Amino acid sequence: MESSNSKSESSEEIRIGVNVCHCGLNIGGSVNCDEVAEYAASLPHVAISRALRYSCSDQGQELIKKDILDYKLNRIVVASCTPRLHEPTFRRACEEAGLNKYLFEMANIREHCSWIHLHDREAGTEKAKDLVKMAVAKAALLEPQEEREVPILRKALVIGGGVAGIQAALDLADTGYRVYLIEKEPSIGGRMAQIDKTYPTMDCSICILAPKMSDAGRHPNIELLTASEIVEVKGYIGNFRVKVLKKSRYVTKDCSACGDCSTACPVTVPNEFDVGLATRHAIYTPFPQAVPSTYIINKENCLNTNFIVCDKCIVACERNAIDFTIIPETIELEVGTIIVATGADVFDPTVLPNYGYGKFLNVITSLEFERLINAGGPSGGKLLRPSDMTIPDTIAFIQCVGSRSEKGTDSCSNVCCMNTIKDALLIKEHWPEVKIYVFYIDIRAFGKGFEDLFRRAKEEGVIFIRGLPAEILEDRKTNNLWLIGENTLSREIYKINVGMVTLSIGLEPREDSNIIQRLFTLSRAPDGYFMEAHPKLRPVDTPTGGVFLAGCAESAKDIKDSVTQASAAASRANILMAQGKVTIEAITPTPIIDNCKFCELCTKVCPYNAILVDRENKITEVIEAACAGCGNCGAECPSDALIMRHFTDEQIIAQIDAITEQDANMKIVAFCCNWCSYAAADFAGVSRMQQPTNIRIIRTMCSARVSEKFIARAFARGAAAVLVAGCHLNDCHYIDANYQTKKRVERFWRRMERRGVRKERLQLLWASAAEGERFASKVREMAETVKNVSSEEIQKTVKAFKKR
Amino acid sequence: MPVKLWRKPLDADKIPKLQYEVHIINERCDGCGFCIDFCPKDVLARAEKMNEKGFYPPQVINEANCTFCGFCRSVCPTCAIFPIEKISRNIKEVE
Amino acid sequence: MKALEALIDLEKLKYCFECGICTASCPIAEMLPTHYNPRILLHSIHLDEERLLTSAEPWLCAWCYKCNQRCPQGLNLPEIFRAIRKYAVEHGSLEGFTSALKIIRETIPLPASCCYICFHPERTIDDSKLIEDSIQKLIIDYIITTGKTTKAVSSPTLHKERIAIVGSGPSGLTTACELAMKGYPVTVFESLPKAGGMLRVGIPEFRLPKEVLDADIGYIKDLGVEIKTNVAIGNDLMLDDLRKEYNAVLIATGMQKDKEFNIEGNDLNGVVNALDFLRQVNLGKIVELKPKVAVVCVHRLLGIDVARVALQLEPEEVRLIYRRSKKRMLFHGRIGEQMQKEFKEAEREGMKTHFMTWPTRILGKDGQVVGLECARMGLGKPNEKGLRKLIPIEGSNFVIDLDSVILAVGQAPSISPSEEIELGEENSVIVNPVTLETNLPGVYACGEIAWGPSTAIVSIASGKQAADSIDEFLRTKQVGTIKI
Ligand SMILES: Cc1cc2nc3c(=O)[nH]c(=O)nc-3n(C[C@H](O)[C@H](O)[C@H](O)COP(=O)(O)OP(=O)(O)OC[C@H]3O[C@@H](n4cnc5c(N)ncnc54)[C@H](O)[C@@H]3O)c2cc1C
Ligand code: SF4
Ligand code: SF4
Ligand code: SF4
Ligand code: SF4
Ligand code: SF4
Ligand code: SF4
């Protein structure tokens, strides 16, 4: 464990091939790749080193394969982009040349080097050399590994019964898989069931959705679970075990949806489906086309709290379909793949006091507008304003309410511009005399057929004014509204009197997104929507294997895009299930029984209960199928009894040693988890956020892999500072493993304090994959700290942490 | 966050809201208070005045809330309370 | 370019997407549409930095923070404009400041007072002498423009319609001034012995010297406005009387009353409400305080003002009691800046503070205050706005010995001068939002009585709006038609 190239399990000579990639000018532009390649050739065990223009290209891969054969290479290092992008590509190339894919290692000299040091070629080149040295040091210690295959259950779970969820479920069911469709509301249909017409074609929304809904309800392969919620998810790709809480409807399948019960029910409350514009009873169906059509009792509204008080519905029901004894049940499902299609919420404009929503009756939201103008809605499709139920002579639409704003979501909601244009045209169609104003900042008519619709609205006489009203004031006498704002094109203040105002509210992530996020260990972008595995190349995958995204859960989008994405997600899930099996990465721990003291510390920290320690029979066993490979146990084990495959102590220490071999007093040794913080550093690179060159990143699967001895090693070798970075607490990709990270770092801080070492030199950072700037600022901040670390201080630290 | 429901539903006035009367036979009441406790709509409260037997009978404090569930009638051990439906009236008049 | 951008959080600047909300919210842009547009000013930072050095615009922002509260991107415009001012001053250019003063004198009613309480040049120019001189010159300018030695020329009376204005606060005086300039005979009725409203009896001397206010009011009087003090409408005279005698009546009575503070013992001798207290001090009716004073502070700025005024009467001790933390009290935003300055001063003057403390009852003996029982507060869970609820810590009660308690809770509307006027939320007068007419024809309302508590500049803008609307009504005898 002493130096980087002392030990190797196999007796065979180690021969490493190094390929330094120019990536066109992406790397070559700010790193002298030839120099790096030359340097690599001088490193121990390196048999051949060369610089390539594009190592990921076919020629590049062919060359690597050829080298393996020609030079009898048994380890390959590629210095190019992030392993999160091309590691699989190169691993495949190795395998094709007969080399075990675990004998491949990557140095990230693009995202973590050339892109963040665009203007300092010299320092960038030096850093690239270091990164290659680290990779070579680790490569020398790599071992071949066997991957295990696990079968994939040919059953899928779709969460959310909006149009996206329905489409995904139908696609998979038609392919022949069994599908469970979970919806938390009493009926499937989602947002689309609420809206009247759909742009750009002006189809009646429910008319095109209802057939799909009933298809989903009737499909022999689909099991519909409405009024249900996910409460627990266990397992892994191909073998998920999901617990679903099925709330009680209190109405059995015998219900013929005659509605007699509803008429008899004495309770009336606002109907959520109609955004409170209409009433329903305690026993109800949210809308006539609901699927399943079975009625439901809302227990919170119902008077019959103790089985005796009220029985009006029971008496009214001729088919005896009402049963108050039904209790909620928890169902356990086993599925191979999961599609998350939970949709989006709408913005609540009551947080904007200047628009008076919630106070002025005639200020409504676009969602309320949809119900108002819908023939099945509370006003029978007549455009009536709430204050006096008359047709207003003027209507104003205000765009971007709660979107593109720090008061709601930062991003554009994508649907409200076209939705307003659609609504304006609908009004013009039925009531051409109504004057319509649209106040906007930008009209975003980007999709197919959208511009035409926009043009038509202008032709019909809809008045578009650029500049949002600063406030809405109500005239108490008439309940008319005054809009005061600046026409930013003419630079004049307008004061306009209208009969009704529609706020084009934006979409925002579901309030309960964090629950789904935690259940499936997903990531969320800064705006709160679930994040895809790769924004361009894997747009419906999530970082969690076997879990896919569809519809507004991923980002605000319209129906067409939701359906497209749903079919894409279904097809991705289909690919997995059709293969029928998946290989699991060989990164699980191997116990060394001889070292094990059976202290059971590992079992206490394992988030998946994947280690069994039997003290009596002296057995320590890892259940590979359950282990996710976080390495928490390895970091916790005090007796070196768990070898984390592919992330062994020796390998990591070799990397630390490589970093600290030269100029350690200028360097920051960083440990980043694969999912969030390493990705954040990648993101900083992709966004070209320039940073100082001191940092050297060692990738682990989870920050919980970082054992205190690694930190001590870095300081003992004279490093100026150490950074441990992981996902935000509660966002950990290994349930809650990063709480251990926190504990270990805090413990180390106390150790530093005791030994008189400044705590600032060890930093802990939580950064999500989208927080590139956060990561970059941390690096800048730490670079300042490094400047203040004197050589005496380093000497002192080295002494303090040298092994005794 | 989802939109809060704050409006009076537009069809609220059109829903025929039946009205009920609650009748109490004071002198029969044994003052057990079951009806007061069990009424799901808080229609009843204890009266301030005793009846002849020396018990405090219930008193109607919020008749408009009564939903005619009949629960008071079912629990009353002395049959001292019962609701009846008012003769259907025009809603406007009621308001 | 770089120099200025370095002063400002550039990331934020880029996000403005020109929605125009700031401009349409801005009282200055409303009054000076040709001179001022915050949105465009913001843009000149990228386009025309040279011009900014000499431009009057950055100096015209009146720190009301309305734009900041409404901007979808939360841009802090007044802070950005302060950076521009600073940039100009550091480049030795006071040209913008001087031309701003000129614009203010010519177009803003009560210009001298506004310099003190709205425009705050001292927030960028450290040289207080320079500011004093400039404003002094501005006051003298009144004389020069009119060419007479001491008086402004009263405008010639062009109209015979007479106008009555109830209340002589900033909004009432603004309307009076504007209408007098349009040539109407105007009478202002004030219940107190002196004109000026809150500027006179609310704002302490150290923030607005009375002679500055006198100069402004003097100017308005010289325009021919008659001010009748010591006349309370609804008491000495009825609104109906005014309506008979005058062609239009404006109610601009502001928010004079103190909000009620429900605490055991608030009727004891020695308990006063803050606005009452300030009024009495400003009118010279209170010149001395009992030795031990506590200020119970709900409204932060009011509380600190009262504490400072009390300190100037030199009692033995003044304690400030505030429910939340010190940090929270000096929180940034519209009044944060003022707070930090005043707080420092008050501490220097010897104020004692009790943070995270709240009174539970006022203790009395023979009808006289003798002490204040307080509890320490702890923090509960944050609500959806992130504000943490305060929970009294059990058993933490303690008693402060004292003999006066001043309750600084906040403003409530004055009693409306007539029962026929329709009132809305919290007893504000309901007006047509554009014409400011009340439910009674020919009767208008503006300022805080119509819109609730806000800043002087917002009331002044509202007064100007009322003047335009009354003028239009009198000339056309019909409610204004509004151009789009
Ligand atoms: C006012 C308005 C007008 C619009 N107009 C148009 C238009 O004209 N044309 C157009 O193309 N698009 C329009 N859109 C956009 C369109 O509504 C969406 O693109 C579409 O509904 C997205 O479908 P979805 O399935 O992703 O989400 P949703 O329709 O929101 O469905 C998600 C479903 O998941 C359920 N769910 C959520 N969380 C859970 C959970 N934890 N467990 C179980 N179930 C859950 C929800 O109850 C819901 O039923 C409009 C949107 C709005 C708000
Ligand atoms: S029990 Fe009564 S209140 Fe409950 S749903 Fe049935 S009729 Fe309605
Ligand atoms: S779609 Fe239009 S209205 Fe909606 S957020 Fe985007 S720009 Fe604003
Ligand atoms: S702690 Fe992590 S690596 Fe160790 S057994 Fe558990 S899941 Fe696997
Ligand atoms: S009938 Fe039901 S609701 Fe009416 S008073 Fe009796 S218990 Fe209460
Ligand atoms: S309100 Fe904000 S975003 Fe809108 S124009 Fe003004 S500064 Fe720009
Ligand atoms: S702070 Fe007030 S005065 Fe200044 S720009 Fe904003 S709205 Fe105008």
Burial, A173: exposed, middle or buried (Cβ in 10 Å; 0-12, 13-18, 19+)? buried
Cα distances (angstroms) measured from residue A732 to each of A332, A337, A361, A683, C227: 25, 21, 45, 18, 71
Is residue C388, in this structure, part of any structural domain at all?
Answer: yes
Q: β-strands C163-166, C186-189: how paired?
A: parallel
Q: How far is B4 from chain A (nearest CA, A)?
A: 7
In the three-class reduction of DSSP (H, G, I as helix; E, B as strand; rest coil), residue C481 is classed as: coil
- At position A296, the amino acid (one-letter code) is I
Cα of A627 vs centre of ligand 4, distance in Å, is: 5
pLDDT tens-place string over residues C92-136:
888 999 999 989 988 899 999 999 999 998 888 888 888 888 888
Determine the Cα–Cα distance for residues A546 and A577; give it in Å rounded to an integer. 9
pLDDT band per the 50, 70, 90 thresholds, residue B80: very high
Instruction: Indicate the residue of A354, A404, A495 with minimum beta-carbon distance to C434.
Output: A495
Determine the Cα–Cα distance for residues A589 and A603; give it in Å rounded to an integer. 13
- Chains touching C (at least 3 CB pairs under 8 A) are A
Q: How far is C2 from chain A (nearest CA, A)?
A: 19
Residue C412 vs residue A640, higher pLDDT:
A640
Contacts of C68 in chain A (CB under 8 A): none
Domain match, C331 and C440 both: no
Is residue C134, in this structure, part of any structural domain at all?
Answer: no
Question: What would the two tokens of residue A12 be?
Answer: 């065979």
The pLDDT of residue A520 is 86
Determine the Cα–Cα distance for residues A585 and A102; give it in Å rounded to an integer. 10
Q: What domains can you pick out in chain B, each with its CATH number? A: 26-85 (3.30.70.20)
Chain C residue with minimal CA distance to A493?
Answer: C24
Predicted confidence (pLDDT) at residue C11 exceeds the cutoff of 90: no
Determine the Cα–Cα distance for residues C436 and C93; give it in Å rounded to an integer. 41
ipTM: 0.85
Cα of A387 vs centre of ligand 7, distance in Å, is: 34
Q: β-strands A363-365, A296-297: how paired?
A: unpaired
Burial, A241: exposed, middle or buried (Cβ in 10 Å; 0-12, 13-18, 19+)? middle
Please work out, in degrees rounded to the nearest 5, the angle formed at the alpha carbon of residue C93 by the alpha carbons of C91 and C99. 155
Domain match, C223 and C281 both: no
Question: What would the two tokens of residue C199 be?
Answer: 């500027």
Place of tokens 């707070």: C339
Determine the Cα–Cα distance for residues C410 and C274; give it in Å rounded to an integer. 8
Is residue C138, in this structure, part of any structural domain at all?
Answer: no
Q: Chain A contact for B11, CB < 8 A? A: yes
For chain C, how many structural domains are there in total?
3
The pLDDT of residue C386 is 63
- Which region among A287-291, B75-79, C171-175, C383-387 has the lowest average model confidence (pLDDT)? C383-387
- At position A233, the amino acid (one-letter code) is V
Question: A708-716 and A649-660 are packed helices; what angle lies between their axes, rounded to 10 degrees?
Answer: 20
The fold of A249-326 is Alpha-Beta Plaits (3.30.70)
Contacts of B1 in chain A (CB under 8 A): 345, 348, 508, 511
DSSP A646: T
Determine the Cα–Cα distance for residues C427 and C430; give it in Å rounded to an integer. 9
Same topology between domain A148-247+328-343+510-579 and domain A346-508: yes
Contacts of A405 in chain C (CB under 8 A): 72-73
Q: β-strands A589-591, A642-644: how paired?
A: antiparallel
Determine the Cα–Cα distance for residues A46 and A13; give it in Å rounded to an integer. 11
B69 Cα nearest atom in ligand 2? 2
DSSP H helices, A116-204, are 121-140, 163-175, 190-194
Is residue C331, in this structure, part of any structural domain at all?
Answer: yes
The pLDDT of residue A6 is 40
In the three-class reduction of DSSP (H, G, I as helix; E, B as strand; rest coil), residue C269 is classed as: strand
A6 Cβ contact list (under 8 Å, min separation 6)? none
Predicted confidence (pLDDT) at residue C12 exceeds the cutoff of 70: no
Q: Chain A contact for C462, CB < 8 A? A: no
Q: How many CA atoms lie within 13 A of C332 on its CB side?
A: 5
Can you identify the CATH homologous superfamily of domain A148-247+328-343+510-579? FAD/NAD(P)-binding domain (3.50.50.60)
- At position B56, the amino acid (one-letter code) is Y
Distance of CA A763 to the CA centre of its chain: 26
Domain match, C267 and C397 both: yes
- At position A90, the amino acid (one-letter code) is F
The pLDDT of residue B90 is 42
Place of tokens 């119900």: A371
CATH 3.40.50 is the classification of domain A1-147 = yes
C65 Cα nearest atom in ligand 7? 1
Question: What would the two tokens of residue A796 be?
Answer: 């002192």
Contacts of A272 in chain B (CB under 8 A): 5
Please work out, in degrees rounded to the nearest 5, the angle formed at the alpha carbon of residue C209 by the alpha carbons of C205 and C213. 120
Q: For residue B83, give the nearest of B49, B50, B41 by alpha carbon.
A: B41
Cα distances (angstroms) measured from residue A299 to each of A254, A284, A326, A573: 20, 11, 12, 37
What torsion do the CA atoms of C178, C184, C185, C189 make, to the nearest 10 degrees? -40
- Which region among A78-87, A638-647, C457-466, C469-478 has the lowest average model confidence (pLDDT)? C469-478
Query: How many A/B residue pairs have CB atoms within 8 Å?
Result: 74
Best mutation target, C19, C446, C468, to test chain A (most A CBs within 10 A): C19
Q: Is the CB of A413 under 6 A from ligand 3?
A: yes
Determine the Cα–Cα distance for residues A426 and A433; give it in Å rounded to an integer. 12
The pLDDT of residue C482 is 41
Using an 8 Å Cβ cutoff, are C403 and C295 in contact? Answer: no
Can you identify the CATH homologous superfamily of domain A346-508? FAD/NAD(P)-binding domain (3.50.50.60)
Q: Which sequence spans correspond to the domains of chain A? A: 1-147, 148-247+328-343+510-579, 249-326, 346-508, 589-633, 647-804
Domain match, C376 and C244 both: no
Question: What would the two tokens of residue C124 be?
Answer: 């960028």
pLDDT band per the 50, 70, 90 thresholds, residue C169: very high
The pLDDT of residue A1 is 37
Q: β-strands A155-159, A337-340: how paired?
A: parallel
A435 Cβ contact list (under 8 Å, min separation 6)? A393, A394, A395, A463
Cα of A457 vs centre of ligand 6, distance in Å, is: 27
Domain boundary among C355, C381, C410: C410
Mean pLDDT of chain C, nearest integer = 86
Residue having the nearest C-alpha atom to atom 7 of ligand 7: C26
Cα of C60 vs centre of ligand 2, distance in Å, is: 64
Q: Is the CB of A558 under 6 A from ligand 1?
A: yes
Domain match, C289 and C300 both: yes
- Which region among A395-409, A572-586, C155-169, C448-462 has the lowest average model confidence (pLDDT)? C155-169
The pLDDT of residue C9 is 65
Give the range of the structural domain holding residue C235, as residue numbers without chain letter.
Answer: 153-255+413-476
Determine the Cα–Cα distance for residues A425 and A462; give it in Å rounded to an integer. 8
Predicted confidence (pLDDT) at residue C149 exceeds the cutoff of 50: no
Sign of CA dihedral C390, C394, C396, C397: positive
Domain match, C399 and C282 both: yes
Distance of CA A723 to the CA centre of its chain: 25
For chain A, list residues with pLDDT below 50: 1-9
Contact B9 A276 (CB under 8 A): yes
Domain boundary among C410, C433, C462: C410
b/e for A503-518, b at 16 or more Cβ within 10 A? Answer: bbbbbbbbeebeebbe
pTM over 0.95: no
The pLDDT of residue B19 is 78
Is residue C449, in this structure, part of any structural domain at all?
Answer: yes
Overall residue count recorded for chain B in this entry: 95
- At position B78, the amino acid (one-letter code) is T
CATH of the domain at C94: 1.10.1060.10
pLDDT band per the 50, 70, 90 thresholds, residue C146: very low
The pLDDT of residue A540 is 95
Is residue C136, in this structure, part of any structural domain at all?
Answer: no
CATH of the domain at C220: 3.50.50.60
pLDDT tens-place string over residues B13-49:
877 767 788 999 998 999 899 999 888 888 999 998 8
Q: What share of chain B is helix, strand, coil (3-state, %, to 5)?
A: 25, 15, 60
- Which region among C149-158, C181-190, C357-366 has the lowest average model confidence (pLDDT)? C149-158
Predicted confidence (pLDDT) at residue C332 exceeds the cutoff of 80: no
Q: For residue C254, give the nearest of C424, C434, C411 by alpha carbon.
A: C411
Predicted confidence (pLDDT) at residue C358 exceeds the cutoff of 70: yes
